[in-house]
Amino acid sequence: MSHNHHHGSSDNLKIAFFLNLGFTIIEIIGGMFTNSIAILTDALHDAGDTASLGLAWYFEKLSSRKRNEQHTYGYKRFRLLGGLITGVVLVIGLSFILWKAIERLMTPEPVNAPGMMALAVLGIIINGAAVLRVKKGTSLTEKVVSWHLIEDTLGWAAVLIGAGIMVLWDLPIIDPILSIGISLFVLWNVCRNLKQVILVFLQTTPESFDLADFEKQVVTIPGVLSTHHTHSWSLDGESHVLSTHLVMESNTDRPAILTTKDRVVDLLKEHHFEHITIEVELECESCHTGDQPMHQ
């Protein structure tokens, strides 16, 4: 990835971060002023998104560092920390807000519906501007962040509709209902994203890569008898790693081995593998790894 691409990604995330931070402060003040649990719920969500954007911005810059003796794969894995920390904080915070919203559902309180409408319009404008900025980027991090911001914009559209109803009819129960709906929607998305982050941390095979199919294709290459000890994992959900052992015919010469390695690499081109290790053993040679074969 080029330096200019990293610089552009950092700039997009930085602008989205400051837009979100400024509006989160306005939102907290506005939520208390309007006595709206729905707005305070979204304020917490936006605070989480602000932290996520800040961490994504920091780790995006950090991930461009070159590898060294301590981090032989580079710093790309640091990107995952932002998602993990933010996700855990949001789950805890939203669970608390959900509990408070259920209490408010039992004993509804009056809210300032016109004030809610004004904040909702401002939220749609600011979050919409952040979406437009981040969607200019091409990295997976920016795409994920843009979906978070789109969720924020849709949440504010729901608040605007709910506040409009309360302007016309005295139905304060709509406020906690909106809060519960927003909380459950955000919790579902946060848990879904957390699952993906945890799977990458646990070094599971990348979701887009079919390891069994890859092994079937490898043994169709002339001279390859079998493959074993194939491992695949992801550094950050975008950049993947693979290592495999090939068993080739005993009379295979060095040029044929190099050609075979090139063909294996070609099989992986569309899957974003950045680190590929291919060990070749000739027929009847011993494999010196202590690894155990996979069980189906």
At 292, list the tokens: 């155990």
User: 182 with 267, same domain?
Assistant: no
Spatial distance between the Cα atoms of 131 and 146, rounded to a whole number of angstroms: 5
Query: In CATH, what number is assigned to the domain containing residue 120?
Result: 1.20.1510.10
Domain C-terminal end among 148, 183, 201: 201
Answer yes or no: is 295 within a domain: no
Pick the last residue of a domain from 168, 201, 234: 201
Q: Which two tokens stand for residue 3?
A: 């330096």
Cα angle 271, 272, 274; round to 5 = 130
Which amino acid is it at 53? L
Task: Clarify whether residues 188 and 232 are in a common domain.
Answer: no
- Give yes or no: residues 166 and 226 share one domain: no
Which domain CATH number covers 217?
A: 3.30.70.1350
Give the angle 203-86-183 at the CA atoms, nearest 5°: 115
Residues 193 and 276 in one domain: no
Secondary structure percentages of the chain, helix, strand, coil, to 5: 65, 10, 25
| Whether residues 125 and 228 fall in one domain | no
Q: Is residue 233 included in any domain, yes or no?
A: yes
Instruction: Look up tokens 């290459």; give the residue.
Output: 221
Nearest to 214 by CA among 263, 281, 274, 283: 263
Within-domain flag for 23: yes
Cβ atoms within 10 Å, residue 242: 24
64 & 177 share domain = yes
Split the chain (296 residues) into runs of 10 and give each run's mean pLDDT.
48 76 84 77 75 76 77 76 73 77 77 83 83 63 64 76 83 78 79 83 88 92 92 85 93 92 90 88 75 52
Q: Is residue 87 a part of any domain in this protein? A: yes
Residues 191 and 251 in one domain: no
Same domain? For 192 and 226 the reply is: no
Q: Where are the beta strands (DSSP E) in 22-134?
A: none
Tell me the β-bridge partners of 240. 234, 273
Supply the range of the domain harboring residue 78: 3-201
Q: Looking at the 3D structure of the chain, how many domains does it have? A: 2
Q: How far apart are CA 48 and CA 125, in angstroms?
A: 19
Same domain, 35 and 137: yes
- Does 84 fall in a domain? yes
Count other Cβ atoms within 10 Å, centred on residue 14.
18
> CA 212 to CA 238: how far, in whole Å?
20
Question: In terms of C-beta density within 10 A (0-12 exposed, 13-18 middle, 19 or more buried), how is residue 206 classed?
Answer: buried
12 with 156, same domain? yes
Q: Residue 110: inside a domain, yes or no?
A: yes
Domain co-membership, 190 together with 271: no
Q: Is residue 63 part of a domain?
A: yes
Nearest to 257 by CA among 283, 229, 296: 283
5: left (phi over 0), alpha (psi -120 to 50) or beta: alpha
| Residue 276 backbone dihedrals phi, psi, to 5 degrees | -125, 125
- What pLDDT, on a 0 to 100 scale, did the predictor assign at position 249? 92
> Of 141, 174, 201, which closes a domain?
201
Both 195 and 220 in one domain: the answer is no
pTM strictly above 0.85: no
* Residue 128: inside a domain: yes
